[in-house]
A and B are shown apart, each in its own frame.
Chain A
């Protein structure tokens, strides 16, 4: 129980840290709303041309856009969550202090990142989504059951998103510099999470492949669960499966990395 309290405190710290920058958050809300409006119009034109593309109707395509804007910062789709801090600490050697702490390294950063994600969802994600619901036709379910299932997929999505970025951050143990990895995170995150186009609208075999990659757990799964396009249990299994595999890979990589840590004295 004691350690549970510790990670809760770390998560609360992550939440508070991002909650400090109110003007930056408001500016982010504005930007996400502007991009949402642009994307909605282009998707409406696309679905006008080809109704039921990817099994979505127009209202569902619109909902997907606003959900994407809502989760963009929450799931750190283009990077920029806890992994940036971790990379910096590895680069400067401060990671040695972290390794001395009587806490699990991976759980510590997971807790911090979940705290950040919760703030980004509440502070930055909800308003663009409500704006979309107010001004565009959306396919949002009534009743509590779909929303409860949606909440679970969001939590799992946040864990998968963290697990991917944690692996990327650990690579700095070998690469010493995170810039290239951050760029890869950004490209893969934006493209394979379906920020460019919903994954279910990707054509042919390429579409089949992108829909089973871990990034599909981030926006596509929560969207499909919310709009009843996929069974909740199937989505949970998909997300939890990837979360387990990636977190385990993270632990293995972490073990390998900490074995070779040499801290430069100073």
Chain B
């Protein structure tokens, strides 16, 4: 019961802080519009790269442009959602170094909610928007015999994928408490993860695919369920029900990340400055 209370309190604190940041950024509307457009373009460059590649070839790793666009749309949308929710965790190391993290520790609100909502930025909607546009384009273009189960898998993938990436953000933040100057390591798993998942699994080495399937289960963001939707064999042998396992995987990831965050928070030592 106490757990539940903490979650409710955390969500409430998160909402209050996020709304405050939204209001503050809306004070300068032109600046907001420009940064939103910039975010849309920066995050869209990856897809421009894929389009450039397909201007030279008809398939990549045996997958067509529409199939790769399907992967890209899923990866970019779910990562964009987690980036909107918790992308600010990237700046945690900075708060540790300048000592302002201590202030968050003494406030009567959950620390994770405070750092998660810190500098909450609606410009991050840019990544979600371009991801959704590519996803919709892929959905109407790709050659799939749609069934109710397959259609249901699409929103399930987006939501579980976002949850998995959120877990990566939180675990990365826990790591930053230990290694305060290592925000870039987190980037390797967050930005690196979403880039990896934009390409078909057949492109990568077997060991790498096994690693992101069984060790750091990013493959459940899109690779495994999308392979089922597209009727393609997944390069690493998995039972048939694995395509529907994303929500369970996301739950386990979030629970482990939560434990890691608690352990990290307990080990925190202030710089004292």
* Contact surface of A with B, Cβ cutoff 8 Å: 21, 23-24, 26-28, 30-31, 34-35, 37-38, 41-42, 44-46, 49-50, 53, 177, 179-180, 183-184, 186-187, 190-191, 196-197, 201-203
Contacts and interface: CB of A to CB of B under 8 A. Distances in A.
A203 B56 contact: yes
A27 to B, nearest CB: 4
Nearest to A177: B31
Contact of B56 (A26, A30, A37, A201): A201
B49 A197 contact: yes
A177 B205 CA distance: 45
Contact of A23 (B181, B188, B205): B181
Interface of B: 31, 34-35, 38, 41-42, 45-46, 48-49, 52-53, 55-61, 179-185, 187-189, 192, 195-196, 199, 202-205, 208
A186 B56 contact: no
Given A31-B188, A38-B195, A196-B52, A186 B42 contact: yes
B199 to A, nearest CB: 5
A27 B185 contact: yes
Nearest to B182: A27
B45 A187 contact: yes
B208 to A, nearest CB: 7
Contacts of A23: 179-182
Contact of A31 (B57, B187, B196, B199): B187
A27 B38 contact: no
5 contacts: A31-B184, A31-B192, A38-B199, A41-B204, A42-B199
Nearest to A34: B188
Contacts of A203: 52, 55-56
A190 B205 CA distance: 26
A196 B46 contact: yes
A191 B192 contact: no
Nearest 5 interchain pairs by C-beta:
A196-B49, A183-B38, A27-B184, A23-B181, A27-B182
A68 to B, nearest CB: 12
Contacts of A27: 179, 181-185
Contact of A187 (B38, B59, B208): B38
A49 B185 contact: no
Contacts of A201: 52, 56
A46 B52 CA distance: 11
A31 B185 contact: yes
B192 A50 contact: no
A190 B204 contact: no
B218 to A, nearest CB: 12
Contacts of B180: 23
A70 to B, nearest CB: 16
A47 B245 CA distance: 34
A191 B52 CA distance: 11
A203 B55 CA distance: 7
Nearest to A37: B208
Contacts of A50: 56-57
A46 B188 contact: no
Contacts of A183: 34-35, 38, 41-42
Contacts of B52: 196-197, 201-203
B220 to A, nearest CB: 18
Contacts of A42: 53, 60, 199, 203
A187 B48 CA distance: 12
Contact of B184 (A28, A45, A53, A190): A28
Contact of A45 (B38, B61, B179, B192): B61
A41 B59 CA distance: 15
Contacts of A179: 31, 35
A68 B191 CA distance: 17
Nearest to B47: A196
A126 B34 CA distance: 36
A246 to B, nearest CB: 23
B26 to A, nearest CB: 16
A24 B48 contact: no
Given A187-B38, A196-B48, A203-B55, 6 more contacts: A21-B181, A24-B184, A27-B179, A31-B188, A45-B199, A49-B58
B53 A197 contact: yes
B78 to A, nearest CB: 18
Given A34-B188, A53-B56, A197-B53, A24 B181 contact: yes
Contacts of A45: 60-61, 199, 202-203
A219 to B, nearest CB: 14
Nearest to B202: A45
A201 B195 CA distance: 20
B196 A49 contact: no
